[in-house]
Structure 1
Amino acid sequence: MNNIDEKLQPLLAEVIRRNAGEAEFHQAVREVLESLGRVVAKHPHYLELALIERICEPERQIIFRIPWVDDKGQVQINRGFRVQFNSALGPYKGGMRFHPSVNVGIIKFLGFEQTFKNALTGMPIGGGKGGSDFDPKGKSDAEIMRFCQSMMTEMFRHIGEYTDVPAGDIGVGGREIGYLFGQYKRLTNRYEAGVLTGKALAYGGSRARTEATGYGNTYFTQAMLQKTGTDFDGKKVVVSGSGNVAIYTIEKVQSFGGKVIACSDSSGYVIDENGIDLALLQDIKEVRRGRISDYVKRKGAGASFIAADKGSIWDVPCDVAMPSATQNELSGKNARKLVANGVIAVGEGANMPTTPDAVKVFQDAGVMFAPGKAANAGGVATSALEMQQNASRDSWSFAQTETRLATIMRDIHDTCYETADEYGEPGNYVMGANIAGFVRVAEAMRMMGVI
């Protein structure tokens, strides 16, 4: 607790006691509390009104059984989660993750982060998160449909466009959202388009939603680079992952003149010094649902594959690193390697992909660092724009939506930068994001009384 103000240390101790074994949640709370010492010194009423304790405690945690039948006729059981963390600014809003690693601690960490991320967008949305330990890999479309229908059969009673609006996350894309939405409509007999976001254009989705998280991270990182008089043009960039966020990060970086030379999946990473062939990557990962090693087989000369047990993507020298896969993927050791290789900026596309010791390495070395709760807020911001379109029975063009997204991301960047400066930590985007997000939520809760 060395970096936490002594007034806040008992709060973290209590969070750890009450949420035993939930390491990711502890990490997320600690990271925010490390930024709040100067806030409580300036505004002691946040402590007096127990606002910080209340923000660290979810409003509601739902855990439920999901039975479904596989293609062999065997009954399978998974566990479902929905943590409705904070609704001070609007209905709970946050994605659903389908992955074997999912447990209540991970969902709470994601919901906690989501609360501040959503506040930073300036949109009227609260924070929530959900998912299941179901693994969609290797499952047929029919199995995934039956699983999603079973999940929604329980979850539908807890969500709604004015209550809780789920979206996608790892393992949950347009296919899964479609099955979930169909079952919600079937159960409720209502065409409530705003109950889920990430929908296909055919039934109320928003243009640019698919691209939004990757685009948004790139817009934020570009704004951060521009603060020091540079930009992506001519920079070598490494993007971890090869899913939705990574693919559209690569696309936007390339449009800004950057050269993405490496990307990855759980099996390892590829290096292509000529720049990643985006069309080939999309065909492999989005169309064929293949492995990243297929890139080398099809690209041939100039590309190489390194298995996960042989090295890390963060060994690749680059100017800008953009971790876009999963939590805690970039360690202190990785950070030291990146710094030694001359990295100047890091933009988090995933949720908390950089470990605390790695963040410290970057900050101590003067590397610009964009935390996920700010840099990857483009996805949820565009989800809120999708909700806005659904509420008005409207549909915007891609250009109109992307223009709004770009404005929101630049505003988030400026808010983080200015808040850090106000509290005596110029250039510390972590502190700026944590304080700005916290103050917006805390002020709304203060005005509503003891809730």
Structure 2
Amino acid sequence: MKNAYVNRVYDNLEKKYSHEVEFLQAVHEFFEAIEPVIDEHPEYEKDAILERLVEPDRIISFRVPWVDDEGQVQINTAYRVQFSSLNGPYKGGIRFHPSVNQSIMKFLGFEQTFKNSLTGLPIGGAKGGSDFDPKNKSEHEIMRFVQSFTTELSKYIGADEDVPAGDIGVGGREIGYMIGQYKRINGPEAGVFTGKPVPAGGSLGRTEATGHGLIYFLRNMVEEVGETLEGKKVMISGSGNVAYYAARKVTELGGIVVTMSDSNSAVYDPEGLDLDTIQALKVDDRERIARYTEEHPDVTHIEGSVWDADIDADIALPCATQNEIDGDQAQRLVDNGVKIVAEGANMPNNSDAVKVYRENGVHYAPGKASNAGGVAVSALEMSQNSIRLQWTAERVEEELETIMNDIFQNCVEAAARYGRELDYAAGADIASFENIVTLMQIHGAV
């Protein structure tokens, strides 16, 4: 980065939060993209635009005591980072995973702010979660933990203040428990969470939204270079909702899903995976993906990361977690023919990986643009809750497709304004930054 103002703000941030690696990575990548905008607007320094941009409105941390099935009291740590309400009520998911810490919550809240702005919907940015690990926990243990977690969280959220949703480790079951506990404390305010089960006020199409939205964005990328998804071999990491519904949509549009994975291993079939088996294992029963080979013994089972395997493919869709692809793994993708990478998770490519894509002409879409479908439909769920109506699945899907097409077009146009044609990462950062700066100027020095 060459701009003196950008460098000064980043250097100060690095000194202050040197231990928050993920947060610093997200900010550095963002600053690199928006530097040309700062060059054109020296007045932003006087208004402390960047300094205000990188500090969340508030960070809430708290302990979560709960009792396991043996009667032992357990303690976990939880966070809610309310990053920005410039665009509306705080909005962002809740993650239950042992890796959760303040740095990860800040990076996710920072990214969420700009992602939400790209949707064109009135939602601010936030993120929350706990280092609680739901794996190998009983149904009752999960319920007791969630109830304790929600008791404290409920002090800081509301339908017009902060509306959490799910994320890694938090699905419809966990959101259902959160709603129940919130109502027990505060009364029947259904709209305070999104990603709810449909009978509890959730939106049709929300479960599929992130995966489908990813593929709508991907389809635009493919068409931009004069091709279609028909016959394209697609690597997907993960096997949760995002990965599974992305795989279904790829197949529907004529692509061939050749890999899926979980935290331990992956499966590979050059002829295309059987998604009905994936559904039975991962969506219905939450089994390990390695069991796929019991029904399909000819399929290749890969120990460890799918990105360490040599697999011929045209497209890669990382849908698991942050920093799952490093520079060496990105180079392997390039060497094996991958031309397009679109993120279904939040920041799954580290900085070295993104550099490899740029150096090799790979078309790369960042999560703040390509995986915005989930939060977009969450905002639509908020609208439905407000008017006490439920839209049809078809209407939700049409709205989602329109939003993702608009995000793509905004990224293309923003990148082109600064001579970065088809640089979707730069376009997403620039477009969202311009949106947020406009709101900052409207609101004044707050």
- Scaled to the shorter chain, the TM-score interval is over 0.9
User: Partner letter of residue 381 of structure 2?
Assistant: E
* Equivalence for 2:307: 312
Instruction: Give me the whole-angstrom Cα distance separating, in 1, the residues matched to 2:2 and 2:383.
Output: 39
Q: Are positions 1:279 and 2:279 aligned together?
A: no
Answer yes or no: is the 8 Å Cα contact 1:263–1:313 preserved in 2: no
Instruction: State the shift of 1:4 in Å.
Output: 4.9
Of the three residues 190, 197, 201, the one matched with 1:200 is: 197
Cα deviation, 1:239-284, whole Å, max 9, x if unaligned, reads: 0011111001100100110000111111111012221111110110
Instruction: Give me the whole-angstrom Cα distance separating, in 2, the residues matched to 1:327 and 1:315.
Output: 21
Instruction: State the shift of 1:314 in Å.
Output: 5.3
Instruction: Give me the whole-angstrom Cα distance separating, in 1, the residues matched to 2:338 and 2:273.
Output: 19
Of the three residues 139, 142, 148, the one matched with 2:140 is: 142
User: Partner letter of residue 305 of structure 1?
Assistant: H
With over 3 angstroms needed to count, the CA separation of the structure-2 counterparts of 1:330 and 1:384, relative to structure 1, is same
* Equivalence for 2:415: 420
Please show how residues 286-435 of structure 1 align to structure 2 within 5 Å.
286-301=283-298, 303-308=299-304, 312=307, 315-435=310-430
Instruction: Give me the whole-angstrom Cα distance separating, in 2, the residues matched to 1:231 and 1:332.
Output: 28
Instruction: State the shift of 1:315 in Å.
Output: 2.7
Secondary structure at the residue paired with 1:79? strand
Instruction: State the shift of 1:16 in Å.
Output: 1.3
* Equivalence for 2:68: 70
Secondary structure at the residue paired with 2:154? helix
Instruction: State the shift of 1:424 in Å.
Output: 1.2
Instruction: Give me the whole-angstrom Cα distance separating, in 1, the residues matched to 2:376 and 2:258.
Output: 28
With over 3 angstroms needed to count, the CA separation of the structure-2 counterparts of 1:211 and 1:417, relative to structure 1, is same
Please show how residues 145-160 of structure 1 align to structure 2 within 5 Å.
145-160=143-158
Instruction: State the shift of 1:442 in Å.
Output: 1.4
Instruction: Give me the whole-angstrom Cα distance separating, in 2, the residues matched to 1:433 and 1:398.
Output: 28
Q: Are positions 1:33 and 2:31 aligned together?
A: yes
Instruction: Give me the whole-angstrom Cα distance separating, in 2, the residues matched to 1:419 and 1:242.
Output: 33
Q: Are positions 1:89 and 2:87 aligned together?
A: yes
Answer yes or no: is the 8 Å Cα contact 1:344–1:367 preserved in 2: yes
Of the three residues 36, 56, 59, the one matched with 2:57 is: 59
User: Partner letter of residue 343 of structure 2?
Assistant: E
Instruction: Give me the whole-angstrom Cα distance separating, in 1, the residues matched to 2:41 and 2:388.
Output: 42
Secondary structure at the residue paired with 1:440? helix
Secondary structure at the residue paired with 2:52? helix
Give the TM-score taking structure 2 as reference length.
0.98
Of the three residues 254, 270, 275, the one matched with 1:257 is: 254
Answer yes or no: is the 8 Å Cα contact 2:63–2:76 preserved in 1: yes
User: Partner letter of residue 92 of structure 1?
Assistant: Y
Please show how residues 165-180 of structure 1 align to structure 2 within 5 Å.
165-180=163-178
Of the three residues 215, 220, 225, the one matched with 2:222 is: 225
Instruction: Give me the whole-angstrom Cα distance separating, in 2, the residues matched to 1:353 and 1:68.
Output: 32
User: Partner letter of residue 67 of structure 2?
Assistant: V
Q: Which sits farther off after the overlay, 440-449 or 170-179?
A: 440-449
Secondary structure at the residue paired with 1:8? helix
* Equivalence for 1:212: 209
Secondary structure at the residue paired with 1:130? strand
Instruction: State the shift of 1:313 in Å.
Output: 5.2
Instruction: Give me the whole-angstrom Cα distance separating, in 1, the residues matched to 2:3 and 2:227.
Output: 35
Q: Are positions 1:234 and 2:226 aligned together?
A: no
Secondary structure at the residue paired with 1:158? coil
Answer yes or no: is the 8 Å Cα contact 1:93–1:128 preserved in 2: yes
Of the three residues 19, 44, 49, the one matched with 1:21 is: 19
Instruction: Give me the whole-angstrom Cα distance separating, in 2, the residues matched to 1:417 and 1:278.
Output: 33
Instruction: State the shift of 1:364 in Å.
Output: 1.4
What is the root-mean-square deviation of aligned Cα atoms in Å?
1.1
Secondary structure at the residue paired with 1:315? coil
Instruction: Give me the whole-angstrom Cα distance separating, in 2, the residues matched to 1:326 and 1:196.
Output: 22
User: Partner letter of residue 164 of structure 1?
Assistant: D
Structure 1 gap ranges (5+): none
Secondary structure at the residue paired with 1:172? coil
Answer yes or no: is the 8 Å Cα contact 2:327–2:353 preserved in 1: yes
* Equivalence for 1:115: 113
User: Partner letter of residue 8 of structure 2?
Assistant: P
Instruction: Give me the whole-angstrom Cα distance separating, in 1, the residues matched to 2:267 and 2:137.
Output: 26
Answer yes or no: is the 8 Å Cα contact 2:3–2:39 preserved in 1: no
User: Partner letter of residue 262 of structure 2?
Assistant: D
User: Partner letter of residue 57 of structure 1?
Assistant: E
Instruction: Give me the whole-angstrom Cα distance separating, in 1, the residues matched to 2:427 and 2:309.
Output: 26
User: Partner letter of residue 194 of structure 1?
Assistant: G
User: Partner letter of residue 44 of structure 2?
Assistant: Y
Instruction: State the shift of 1:9 in Å.
Output: 0.4
Instruction: Give me the whole-angstrom Cα distance separating, in 1, the residues matched to 2:397 and 2:2.
Output: 39
* Equivalence for 1:164: 162
User: Partner letter of residue 380 of structure 2?
Assistant: L
Structure 2 gap ranges (5+): none
* Equivalence for 1:248: 245
With over 3 angstroms needed to count, the CA separation of the structure-2 counterparts of 1:107 and 1:4, relative to structure 1, is farther
Instruction: Give me the whole-angstrom Cα distance separating, in 2, the residues matched to 1:377 and 1:341.
Output: 28
User: Partner letter of residue 380 of structure 1?
Assistant: V
* Equivalence for 1:445: 440
Instruction: State the shift of 1:7 in Å.
Output: 2.5
Secondary structure at the residue paired with 2:312? coil
User: Partner letter of residue 432 of structure 1?
Assistant: G
